[in-house]
Structure formats: structure tokens, C-alpha cells
Amino acid sequence: MMDGVYRELPAPAPLRSVVRCRWLSVSGRDEHEHGKRIVPDGCLDLIAGGGRVFVAGPDTAAWRSEMPAGTRLHGIRFRPGHAPRVLGVPADELRDQRIDLADLWGARGRAFTERVLNSPADLIDVVRETAAPDPVLDVVLARLDRGVPRVSAALTGLDLGARQFRRRFGAAVGYGPATYLRIARLQRAISLAEEVPDLATLAVGAGYADQAHLSRDCRELTGATPSVYFRSVQDRSVQDRGRPAALRSSA
């Protein structure tokens, strides 16, 4: 069976405040037959391939990608909260969707799509003119990523109106800070899954109240039970140890 391939590359240094990484994916036969589970990570991606250039996410639940085997996709992944500065569209208008760039930008989007499909390396050129960053938003996102127990703790000491800031947060990230906190906690669990022996230990390490809390969030955000989902994460890690360091198999 042909395996899928997923490889991440660093963003160019001048763009790293906006772009988390570039990536390349080649779909395997298993993805074509069973679909590839993509879980929420708080990011938006701009993707070229399969005859399209489109924006993906931000997602609030698992997305099932079903590409024909051998489909090559190039992507750039924006840092949480920064994609609207480039795209000129509030992130909450893109939530849980895949939208062609031509539908967002009209003639400019169609011209860029044609250019990128002929030269995928040009995808990064979309990040040129951006609006000013929001330093308060970056502080709150960093606190949520580090694992504060509640959203109120992430807002401590900041001079802002909570209701107004939640609207600002939704426009930048795609959903409210409470949803982002849940997604960040799941991502911590995924990063720890290779190192812990059981789900109870994993729940504590990732910041969940208990294993039941982990189970509930895992089902809602991945569509799978934690035993099934985290076993797939561990199995993928074992397979990747036999690959070149820069390559990771698709889920």
C-alpha cells in the first residue's frame, strides 16, 4: 500500500511572525480509500494543489480529507490570529470551511491561483502586505497555549473590555478564546502522547481536569475515542522513526 507523506519546512525568516511553517503533502492510497483525519489546531492554511488554491479552516472539529492517491499539496500555515492580516477576511467568516482564493479575492485571486498552480513555490508570496499586528492578542494566545486553566486567567492584567476583546479574538482566530483553549489543550495532549504510558497520565500532563475531561474533548474535536485516536498518533510516530527526519507519514 502506498504511504502518504507529510513534510514541514520553516517559513522564511522575515515572515515567521506571521507564518508558522510551509508544508508539502502527498496523499497515499489509504487516504484515498479511508480519508485523512485533520484535527483542529487553531490555524488557517493556504493550500495549492488538485487544481485549486484555497483557504482551509479554522476548524472546530475534525475534517476528513479524501484526496486521490498521489495528489501533491503545497501549503503555508499561518500562526493563530495572523491569517486575517494577510487575507483581509475575518477568520470567523472562514470557520469550518474550504474556500477558493478566487472566491475571496475575485480577479486578483484568480490571477494568483493561476500563477501558483504553475509555480507552487510562489505560494509564500501571498504574505507581503499585512495589517499591523495585535500585541495584546499575541499575549492572550501565548497564555492559552501555555495551559492556563481558564480564559479569565489569560486576560489577567490586560487593559481591555472582555466583551469587546472576545469579538476581536473571534475575528482574528475564528472562534472564541474558550474554544481555542480546548484546542490548545488537545494539541498539548497530542504532543505528549508518545511519552506517556496511559490516558490518565496523559490527561494530567496536558492540563485536563481528569481522564473523563480528556475523553469528552477528544471525541468532540477528533471524532474518535481517545484510545483509538492516541493509538493512531503513537503508531504514526513508530512508522516515522524509520523515515528520514524531515518526513512524516499522513494520518
Give, for all 251 residues of the chain, the pLDDT tens digit. 567 888 999 999 999 999 999 999 999 887 767 788 999 999 999 999 999 999 998 999 999 888 888 999 999 999 999 999 999 999 999 999 999 999 999 999 999 999 999 999 999 999 986 778 899 999 999 999 999 999 999 999 988 787 888 899 999 999 999 999 999 999 999 999 988 889 999 999 999 999 999 999 999 999 999 999 998 887 776 555 444 444 344 33
Pairing of strands 45-49, 72-78: antiparallel
Q: Is there a contact between 100 and 61 (Cβ–Cβ < 8 Å)?
A: no
What are phi and psi for residue 74, nearest 5 degrees? -110, 140
C-beta separation of 59 from 96 below 8 A: yes
- Residues with Cβ within 8 Å of residue 224, at least 6 apart in sequence: 37, 62, 218, 232
H/E element, 160: none
Distance of alpha carbon 185 from alpha carbon 214, whole angstroms:
9
